[in-house]
Structure 1
């Protein structure tokens, strides 16, 4: 029962200010910190802390950031045997500005992440026979993501794609290879051309993704919650059929109310918890509830990996809310 994550590993350079600066404006911030991050690394840590054996496939640079990143992953319980140290470039970095309402703006400089190639996919292929789920994002080259999808499909391993950041021309033919896709409202809008702002519009976007061949579409709506539409017939009921999409089960899970500090890595917490739940083969509603709870918990602490919860914290959070 293991999960594999193929993705980015970054050092986050986090600045906090009362608001975001306007173009051309110099704004005085309150503090600065360096925090281990990257979507791939964050999601691997999120799954590992929830008790799932987790392997990360990716690259860091041969620099001080790279050593700190690897130590953080190792300390979180992530298996990093398939992480390469690239002597030709720097580790990935993300410049993050967080405001007083917990929102953030992020600029990513990929570095070693954009040099992930077929050697990483070879490592992935050797790990897949023991895996229940493969988790991918789009902060590494798209051709590597595509190859990883093909390898996982050939070995019958379920694939979750977090489509972030959305490329300009995401290949339509890839949708049929994706078991589960987890865009937020902005990414769902970019992928489908539907303006996603609420559960109703999320349902329309999810239907379109199902029409294009995705098995399960989960649209994350931030403080509103998450919408799920799945063609997994194990959980579908005849009354949930729709002429707009394949036979499917649809439901909405409201967000948990918490005192948010920042939203950095909330989506990564969601995806890591979702992967952990799927590795345990729980129901869709239970998986989505656990993922939503993990995402909510992450917003109550500053930073990325430092804000990701362990299994005891997640279970306690759900018990307190009588879930």
Structure 2
């Protein structure tokens, strides 16, 4: 399965501490990981681990860190030919500080120049020609999001939108452009202008959103898990058993799992995504470490 991923590429530095120090204090780092990161890269890595052929469309700088993250992406089985290297720009950096309770704080250095433009998407046109699916993160600027979704549609690919609308006024246009919408519970609240407090709330919102364009909507429902709605049915997918260390990257693995299993049908795809997320939150940092066999085993009802 060929998948084009539109999204963020960054260096990811994750550190685990017993507790975050206050002003003027210091603590020892218990674990430190430096990896390829960013939502787009995380999803592309997960897709490759799940047997897909991902191509990544994003922006890095022209520094040595760009060389490092792109080399890591290639080693992970990701096609990076559509990645833009922006002159005079530093590659994005995300620092993930995780305390002993699994709570994270992000420090982000993401220059405006590492955001995608519609022109960047147009330049990546060859990547779309064989795509079975196009995954678009909604944290990117709206013109780039719309350009990617439109190009995916013209290529006959399944268009998957991930996240919350960058502009509330664009909700209708975005829903009309996608086949699958995935959002966690806080993002779902932004789609609905309302807090998602239960699976019943999430199902109601998912039905309303699906009626406006997508054929499949997957929304977070807090501690009750996730809900999935499609034309012929709906289901609540409970959270799997997990020893949660760091929730960073769990949503990215969820989306990648959905895409990798779309051919199995909506409910099976949502279960597969949930299983991929469970495996990802059990270690520090957002980089997934998945196998098709283990995800499939955990995805069984």
TM-score under structure 1 normalisation?
0.84
Instruction: Tell me the CA shift for residue 308 of structure 1.
Output: 2.9
Runs of 4 or more consecutive aligned structure 1 residues displaced over 3 Å after TM superposition: 17-21, 24-30, 112-115, 221-224, 315-318
Q: What is the match of residue 200 of structure 1?
A: 200
8 Å CA contact 1:222, 1:255 repeated in 2: no
Q: What is the match of residue 256 of structure 1?
A: 240
- Report the more deviating stretch, 89-98 or 49-58: 89-98
Q: 1:113 to 1:263 in 2, by over 3 A?
A: farther
Residue 309 of structure 1, aligned match among 275, 290, 294: 290
Are 2:83 and 1:83 equivalent residues in the alignment? yes
8 Å CA contact 2:163, 2:182 repeated in 1: yes
Q: 2: distance between equivalents of 1:168 and 1:276? A: 28
8 Å CA contact 2:91, 2:114 repeated in 1: no
In structure 1, runs of 5+ residues without a counterpart are: 237-248
Instruction: Tell me the CA shift for residue 85 of structure 1.
Output: 1.9
Partner-residue secondary structure (3-state), 1:201: helix
Instruction: Tell me the CA shift for residue 309 of structure 1.
Output: 0.7
Q: 1:183 to 1:20 in 2, by over 3 A?
A: farther
8 Å CA contact 1:44, 1:54 repeated in 2: yes
Q: 2: distance between equivalents of 1:11 and 1:220? A: 27
Partner-residue secondary structure (3-state), 2:252: helix
- Report the more deviating stretch, 199-208 or 43-52: 199-208
Equivalenced residue count is 298
Q: What is the match of residue 239 of structure 1?
A: none
Any idea what the Cα deviations from partners look like across 1:15-49, whole Å, max 9, x if unmatched? 3334557xx84564442443321000000111111
Any idea what the Cα deviations from partners look like across 1:231-266, whole Å, max 9, x if unmatched? 3xxxx1xxxxxxxxxxxx111111111211111100
In structure 2, runs of 5+ residues without a counterpart are: none
Are 2:274 and 1:292 equivalent residues in the alignment? yes
TM-score under structure 2 normalisation?
0.90
Q: Pairwise CA RMSD of aligned residues?
A: 2.2
